[in-house]
Amino acid sequence: MARYRPRPGVHWWDTLTNIRCEAGLSRAELAASLDVHYSTIYSIEKGHQTPSQAVLDWYGVLAEGRRRSETA
């Protein structure tokens, strides 16, 4: 399970990191779900690489799942 470290969402990549951590996924687990290399997720979450639409969509799925669990 990913270690949660809340950080203010100053940058878009911090927001993505927070979404993944709140979903309880490690970078490796997310990368496996997306069929990409772990370093791709690392680079995106550090702001070194712009995410593809498919990656953004997956973060959206994670965020939506979190939102649904909070309102249930």
Give the tens place of pLDDT for each residue, 4-59. 565 655 788 988 999 999 999 999 999 999 999 999 999 999 999 999 999 999 99
pTM above 0.85, yes or no: no
Sign (positive or negative) of CA dihedral 67, 6, 23, 52 = positive
Q: Is residue 58 part of a domain?
A: yes
State the CATH number of the domain containing residue 34.
1.10.260.40
State residue 48's pLDDT score.
95
Specify if 3 maps to a domain: no
Q: What is the pLDDT of residues 60-71, one digit of tens each?
A: 999 988 767 666
46 backbone dihedrals φ, ψ, rounded to 5°? -95, -5
What pLDDT is stored for residue 50 in this prediction?
A: 93
Phi, psi of 30 (to 5 degrees): -65, -45
- Provide the pLDDT for residue 20: 93
Look at residue 56 and tell me if it is in a domain. yes
Residue 68 forms part of a structural domain: no
Residue 41 structural domain: 12-63
Tally of domains in the chain: 1
One DSSP character per residue, 5-68 reads: ------SHHHHHHHHHHHTT--HHHHHHHHTS-HHHHHHHHTTSSPPPHHHHHHHHHHHHHHHH
